[in-house]
């Protein structure tokens, strides 16, 4: 894993002139792809600590810590100023870790992970004090096993230390509230299933805006707006990113009954990926 930085100053002599008659989008593109900018990218530090592919990295709120998750099922936490490894957590995940996050407003003591074993785990770093960096498997402070397929992404709300959202390739986005419980029954067990499904997109995938949704939308990503936290964005295995207003979504439910896709605020799609795109379409 590498730190990449951009040199603090750009020399005008290395920049080719840009025709201001182009529109703003062309100017921005010219700057972003200019070779002089690329030449100033430099390797600042190589961080060694994982034994597999690093699939997830994220900063804490002030940029002093970096968290990473890997195929080795470990979470590593690094100090930016020291460039040293402060924690290496053996999570107990039985498959590749795909996402890691610092939980906001917890003094960087709570971290969450999601993985290919369909689990979401929460760890309290204060419980690891005094332990060695590689001292066995850490006990999660919360364990959610209600997904049935790989959990590719977690989402957090700025200022909310109590809830994490998880997106699964099964087509569901679940809301986990730490105040309501720190564990749940595994999917498919005889116990009552968790009623924490916020989005059911098992019939949500579509080929174009004009086509009705028919197939499971395997969710690959999700995020919550930092400035307007009621806005939720999800992306999956079709060409569209979907924007939802959480205030307009139905109450949390379980997966026992397959639901119709809820109404979203808007679709977003690159022009070349859609057969019949109308960007004025509001679902």
Q: What is the pLDDT of residue 33?
A: 64
pLDDT above 70 as % of the chain: 80
Q: What confidence tens digit (pLDDT) does each residue in 243-256 have? A: 999 999 999 988 77
Among the ranges given (8-17, 173-182, 259-268), the one the predictor scored with the smallest mean pLDDT: 8-17
Q: Which pLDDT band holds residue 135 (cuts at 50, 70, 90)?
A: low
Q: Report the pLDDT value the prediction gives residue 18, as an integer from 0 to 100.
A: 37
pLDDT digits (tens, 9 = 90+) for 71-101: 999 999 999 999 999 999 999 999 999 999 9
Say if CB 198 and CB 252 are below 8 A apart: yes
pLDDT tens figures, 202-240: 988 877 777 777 788 999 999 999 999 999 999 999 889
In order of start, what are the domains of the chain with their CATH numbers?
1-46 (no CATH), 56-273 (2.130.10.10)
What value, to the nearest 5°, has the Cα angle with vertex 174 and ends 247 and 110? 100
């Amino acid at each position: 894993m590498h730190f990449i930085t951009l040199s603090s100053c750009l020399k005008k002599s290395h920049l080719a002139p840009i025709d201001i008659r182009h529109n703003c989008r062309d100017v921005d593109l010219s700057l972003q792809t200019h070779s002089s900018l690329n030449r100033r990218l430099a390797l600042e530090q190589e961080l060694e600590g994982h034994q597999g592919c690093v699939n997830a990295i994220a900063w804490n709120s002030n940029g002093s810590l970096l968290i990473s998750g890997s195929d080795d099922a470990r979470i590593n936490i690094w100090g930016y100023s020291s460039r040293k490894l402060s924690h290496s957590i053996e999570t107990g995940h039985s498959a590749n870790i795909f996402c890691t996050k610092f939980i906001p407003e917890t003094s960087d003591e709570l971290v969450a992970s999601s993985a290919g074993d369909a689990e979401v785990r929460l760890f309290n770093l204060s419980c690891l004090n005094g332990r060695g960096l590689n001292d066995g498997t850490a006990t999660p402070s919360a364990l959610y096993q209600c997904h049935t397929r790989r959990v590719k992404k977690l989402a957090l709300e700025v200022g909310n230390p109590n809830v994490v959202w998880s997106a699964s390739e099964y087509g569901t986005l679940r809301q986990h509230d730490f105040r309501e419980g720190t564990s749940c029954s595994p999917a498919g067990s005889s116990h009552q299933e968790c009623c924490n499904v916020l989005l059911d997109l098992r019939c949500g995938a579509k080929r174009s805006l004009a086509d009705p949704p028919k197939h499971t939308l395997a969710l690959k990503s999700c995020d919550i707006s930092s400035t307007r936290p009621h806005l939720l964005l999800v992306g999956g295995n079709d060409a569209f990113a979907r924007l939802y207003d959480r205030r307009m979504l139905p109450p949390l439910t379980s997966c026992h009954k397959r639901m119709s896709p809820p109404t979203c605020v808007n679709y977003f799609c690159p022009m070349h990926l859609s057969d019949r795109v109308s960007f004025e379409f509001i679902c």
